Amino acid sequence: MTTDGSRSPGRAGKPGVAAAGAEPPPAESPRFCGPRRATLWALAILAFLLTAEATARLDDAVFQGVPFLANPRYEDLFIRDALGRRGRPNAQFGKWTLNSFGFRGPEITPVPRPGCLRVALMGASETFGYDESPGHEFPALLRKKLAGRGCVEVVNVAVVGMSTGTMVDYWNNWVSRFRPDVVVVYSSPLFYLASRESPDARRAAGAVSAPPPAPAPPAASLDNPFESRFVKRMRGVGHAAVPAWAWMAWNKHRLEHQLRGVPADARIHAPPAAGLAAYEHDLVRLIGTVRSQARVVLLTHAQRADLPVPTRVLPDLWEERNWVPQADLPVFVEFDRAANTVTRQVAARENLQLIDAAQLLNGCWDCFGDLNHFVDKGSERMSDLLARELPLRKSE
Amino acid sequence: MLFNSFIFIFGFLPVVYVVFWCLPSAKPRYVWLAVSGYVFYGYWDARFCLLMAFSTLVSYCAGLAFLKYQDPRARRWALVVPVCVDLCLLGFFKYAGFALSSGQWLANQLGISVHLPVFDIILPVGISFYTFHTISYIVDSYRRVIRPTRNLFEFSAYVSLFSQLVAGPIVRFRQIETDLENLGGAQRRRWLVPGLMFFVIGLVEKVLVADTLSTFVDPAFKDVASLSTASAWLVMLAYSFQLYFDFCGYSDMAVGLGYLFGLRIPRNFNSPYKAHDPSDFWRRWHISLSTCMRDYLYIPLGGSRHGEVATVRNLMVTMLIGGLWHGANWTFVVWGAYHGALLVLYRLAPKLWDALPRRGAQILMFLLALLGWVFFRSPSFAVAGEVLHAMFTATAGALPPNVGVLACMLLVAGYWAMVGRNTFEFNDGASATPMRQALLAAAFGACLAVMAGGRDTPFIYFQF
């Protein structure tokens, strides 16, 4: 117990504990003026900036293993080489860590361990993991949930920006080598929204050919080591601080300006049939390619929005419209629904198991960070669904 | 709204500061401080502003009653009723669920078939702190230590003062009333530099030290079963310093924010890990709470005036209630009992303790405090048992990841907490030299860089 016995007169002249714990008023600080003042300010700003930059780099080095002088970028997580676009082996950026085969998650053996079932999850950023906290992307959660149900290896082979069509080459050139027993496909249909080619035209254009090989950049780019990481962090804070309605207004203004010269017939007011046909074509082709080696399970695509489109998803739709400016806002949702119908029909026709993620998650506001990407709650539900529905046997 | 958030530092604080100093006199400044306090508090959950307003109004009316009635009987009613109201609010929101679950457990143990309801009550942030503010005001008014204020906004500004609203220090009205009275004549320029210094040093303690240590502590407590002996000790060392720098950082920021508005908020920590004995420790740790417990509980119970047995009882009761104040969990009660036992032992055999060399006594006291923190940090006795088991039986296992960084942090934190100067000593009467200002700017930059990395964590004492 303390023995604070100091007392001072209170308002009524009564004894009381000394005001403010007997802390004296602070001393007046010296005042500087003219050039001295300017020099002091300059020194203080310099000290501020240098320390901030050094701390940001040290923090990255300690907690993310990023070299002090490197200039890492999100794009460093991926390479494009003779095998096509895929994850860079052992890459790391922010919360994303890839294993020695360029897959997000723990190390795996080149082929499944004897007696083990290997489940590969193919998809784009929704599957790779974007808005979730580290280790909460749905493939990682599924891995944990299946841990007690025999030897099951869950491998997240998703690559950001991968359409269903490019998955064919990715499977042929890379993923098939790891001999998964089950392949779960979570396609992103919106890649096909702007497609104006018919499947025949795509075939004629040789859409099945592999992309040209490109030299791989170094693992952690050292090309511009003096790009400020403090400024980059602060930019992120600034971006997060701007309210959704302000971003929406900005996007709206920018995109409407951009669309001024676009002819009316180039605008998309309804889900384009060509896009849906292209999606179906690529999906069927992917299934045909994969099913010779593994069992295929299809997932419908889930979105934050529901139909009719609620007002509160408008900021997400405007953000999404950056990808296809000529499409009207509701089309982003309507196309997704139409593509899901295609997915269901293909699954029925090809006699494949379908897991209806859209039915479970569409319209769940706090399951998504934007229109398409899960946050922890969404990935938790998704992994629950998969853990419940996924067949855990070697062959049908 | 956290002090270590961008919205507070670059949004709330500048607006409140500029408007405050533009106001010409004390009265509008009371209003402004009260309003900003409610905005600050409502940022978490606006519903609980009503609760705080109700508690404020009850205590304010009690003060008016003390001004009106001189009859002892009436004054006693004016004391008992509002204190009971405040305690009932605290009891309902903080302890109802705990009491019911404990009752259910006891009934099950005794084989009594009873099904008590399960309450899922959200704990309003800071309720323990502002309840103490209002109760101390009522009791001091009753004792005529202070003269209650007739100005509702002055009292509201005191209760809802955002700098100490949610996690202390527990500022008694008598400690701040002089500055509140003189609020209209406060000199902005005189308070600015010390205020910023305290705020930035507090930010360094919180963001750079406590939050960095928490990255080692939190994962370890999620998986205590895998703790080896070495890692258990390292983690508990880290937690001891994390807790200190977290709460001390908050308190220093509160003092700095008080200075920015011309209010001297008392110090809450005086290098507690430099303490040489349990009594010394409690003179240095959470000073505002321990003085409140002494003045409003220990002394009214009889203090040390009625013999050794009564003193021991009073000490134990005070520390048990102090433990329970921290949280509705039996682990906090055990933590309070543990410190009560240390105080009793020290009281019974002070010479034995004082015979130790100074440095040895300091290290012993630190280790004893560290053992207490096992119960303080653990969510259950099972977890506490596992941690203690790992600490005191040779258990093999891996060291925490990034152990080199942890060791460096422990060295820095240990030196600062156990040897170096605390914030008050650092600012002791010294003016802001150019070197200090440059250091301050650098420290602020470092904190912002880490905060922008998205590792902001709430203050530990917010949960109390």
Residue B209 lies in a domain: yes
Q: Are residues B179 and B262 in the same domain?
A: no
Distance CA B403, CA B234 (A): 9
Dump the DSSP string for B362-402: HHHHHHHHHHHHHHHH-SSHHHHHHHHHHHHS----PPPTT
Residue A211 lies in a domain: yes
pLDDT value of position A222: 44
Torsion angle in degrees (nearest 10) through CA of B233, B234, B236, B238: 160
**Catalytic residue status for B326:** yes
Q: Are residues B180 and B197 in the same domain?
A: no
Residue A150 lies in a domain: yes
**Average pLDDT per block of 10 residues along chain A, 396 residues long:** 37 39 55 75 91 92 80 83 88 86 92 91 93 91 89 93 92 93 93 73 49 40 66 86 83 83 83 91 94 92 85 84 86 93 94 92 89 92 92 64
Distance CA B194, CA B21 (A): 17
Report CB contact under 8 Å: A241, B7. yes
Give the number of C-alpha atoms closer than 13 A to the C-alpha of residue A290, restricted to the C-beta side.
Answer: 34
C-alpha distance from residue A308 to each of A116, A245, A269, A311 (Å): 45, 20, 15, 9
Q: Are residues B138 and B206 in the same domain?
A: no
Last residue of a domain, one of B186, B207, B222: B186
pLDDT value of position A211: 37
- The beta-strand segments (E) located in B12-66 are none
Q: Mutate one of A7, A29, A68, A242 to test the B interface: name it (highest B CB count within 10 A).
A: A29
Residues of B in contact with A21 (CB under 8 A): 175, 264, 266-267, 287
Residues of B in contact with A93 (CB under 8 A): none
DSSP H helices, B275-328, are 278-284, 287-293, 299-301, 307-326
Residue B1 lies in a domain: no
Q: Are residues B413 and B323 in the same domain?
A: yes
Q: Are residues B218 and B105 in the same domain?
A: no
Report CB contact under 8 Å: B144, A12. yes
Q: Which residue has the tokens 């929204």?
A: A193
Residue A12 lies in a domain: no
DSSP H helices, B127-269, are 127-142, 152-159, 173-181, 188-203, 211-222, 229-260
Task: Check: CB of residue A232 under 8 Å from CB of residue A66.
Answer: no
Q: Is the dihedral of CA B335, B336, B341, B342 positive or negative?
A: positive
Among the listed residues A20, A376, A136, A2, the one whose alpha carbon sits nearest the alpha carbon of residue B292:
A2
Task: Check: CB of residue A271 under 8 Å from CB of residue A280.
Answer: no
Residue A85 lies in a domain: yes
Residue B31 lies in a domain: yes
pLDDT value of position A392: 74
Report CB contact under 8 Å: A17, B452. no
Q: Are residues B101 and B81 in the same domain?
A: yes
Q: Are residues B150 and B268 in the same domain?
A: no
Distance CA B276, CA B366 (A): 8
Report CB contact under 8 Å: B215, A63. yes
Torsion angle in degrees (nearest 10) through CA of B78, B80, B82, B86: 160
- Provide the residue range defining the domain that includes B449: 190-463
Strand partners, A353: A297
Distance CA B388, CA B384 (A): 6
Q: Are residues B249 and B389 in the same domain?
A: yes
Distance CA B205, CA B199 (A): 10
Residue B70 lies in a domain: yes
**What type of residue sits at position A375?**
V
Q: Are residues B324 and B457 in the same domain?
A: yes
- Provide the residue range defining the domain that includes A330: 74-389
Q: Are residues B307 and B169 in the same domain?
A: no
pLDDT value of position A245: 83
Residue A304 lies in a domain: yes
Among the listed residues A78, A91, A80, A73, the one whose alpha carbon sits nearest the alpha carbon of residue A158:
A78
Residue B263 lies in a domain: yes
A129: domain CATH number is: 3.40.50.1110
Q: Are residues B250 and B138 in the same domain?
A: no
Residue A61 lies in a domain: no
Residue B433 lies in a domain: yes
CA distance A337 to chain B (A): 35
What is the number of domains present in chain B? 2
Residue B332 lies in a domain: yes
Q: Are residues B116 and B130 in the same domain?
A: yes
Residues of B in contact with A18 (CB under 8 A): 175
Residue B111 lies in a domain: yes
- The beta-strand segments (E) located in A242-394 are 295-299, 353-355
- Here the ipTM equals 0.80
Q: Tokens in use for A72?
A: 């890492």
**Average pLDDT per block of 10 residues along chain B, 464 residues long:** 87 94 90 93 86 92 90 90 91 83 84 78 80 90 89 90 82 85 80 88 94 90 87 94 93 92 89 92 92 89 86 92 87 93 90 87 94 92 92 83 89 92 77 80 93 72 58
What is the number of domains present in chain A? 1
Task: Check: CB of residue B170 under 8 Å from CB of residue B290.
Answer: no
